[in-house]
Amino acid sequence: MNFCVCIKQVPDVQASVQTGRMVLNAYDASAVEEALVINANNADSIDLILIGPSSATETIRKALAMGATNATHIVVDEIAALDSFAVSNLLAAHLKGHKYDVILTGKQSQDSDAGLAGGMLAELLGLPFATNAVGMRAVENILEVTRQGDTGQEMLEMITPCLVTCSNDMNNPRIPSLKGIMGAKRTVITTTQGAPGITRTVVTRTFPPSAREAGIKFEGEPEEIVALLLDKLQAEAGVL
Q: Would you place residue 16 in the very low, low, confident or very high pLDDT band (cuts 50, 70, 90)? A: low
Query: Phi and psi for 219 in degrees, rounded to 5?
Result: -125, 150
Q: Measured at the alpha carbon of residue 17, what is the angle toward residues 49 and 84, in degrees to the nearest 5? A: 30
pLDDT of residue 198: 79
- Domain extent at residue 27: 3-193
Average the pLDDT over 220-229 and give the result. Answer: 90
Q: Report pLDDT digits (tens) over 25-42.
A: 999 999 999 999 999 989
In a domain, 230, yes or no: no
Give yes or no for residue 229 having a pLDDT over 70. Answer: yes
CATH of residue 141: 3.40.50.620
For residue 47, the 8-state DSSP code is E
173 C-beta neighbours (distance < 10 Å), count: 20
pLDDT of residue 214: 85
Which range (44-48, 94-98, 164-168, 205-209) has the least confidence?
Answer: 205-209
Is the preceding peptide bond at 161 cis, omega within 30 degrees of 0? yes
Give yes or no for residue 17 having a pLDDT over 60. Answer: no
Radius of gyration, alpha carbons of the chain: 22
For residue 234, the 8-state DSSP code is I
Q: Report pLDDT digits (tens) over 184-222.
A: 999 999 999 987 777 888 778 777 778 888 888 888 899
In a domain, 82, yes or no: yes
In a domain, 161, yes or no: yes
pLDDT of residue 194: 85
In a domain, 138, yes or no: yes
Which residues in 212-231 are b (16+ Cβ under 10 Å) and which e?
A: eeeeeeeeeeeeeeeeeeee
Query: Phi and psi for 41 in degrees, rounded to 5?
Result: -110, 20
Q: Report pLDDT digits (tens) over 115-131.
A: 999 999 999 999 999 99
Q: Report pLDDT digits (tens) over 59-85.
A: 999 999 999 999 999 999 887 778 999
The beta-carbon contacts of 91-98 under 8 Å, at least 24 apart in sequence, are: 91/6, 91/49, 91/51, 91/117, 91/121, 92/121, 92/124, 92/125, 94/49, 94/192, 95/4, 95/49, 95/121, 95/125, 96/125, 98/4
Cα 220 vs. chain centroid, distance in angstroms? 47
In a domain, 208, yes or no: no
Q: Which residues is 155 bridged to in the sheet?
A: 146
Cα 62 vs. chain centroid, distance in angstroms? 15
In a domain, 154, yes or no: yes
pLDDT of residue 160: 95
With a CB cutoff of 8 Å and minimum separation 6, the contacts of 81 are 196, 199, 203
pLDDT of residue 97: 82
| Total of domains in the chain | 1
Dihedral over Cα of 83, 85, 88, 92: its sign? negative
pLDDT of residue 18: 62
pLDDT of residue 19: 67
In a domain, 198, yes or no: no
Q: Report pLDDT digits (tens) over 117-174.
A: 999 999 999 999 999 999 999 998 899 999 999 889 999 999 999 999 999 999 999 9
Interatomic CA distance for residues 48 and 63, integer angstroms = 8
In a domain, 37, yes or no: yes
Q: Which residues is 10 bridged to in the sheet?
A: 23
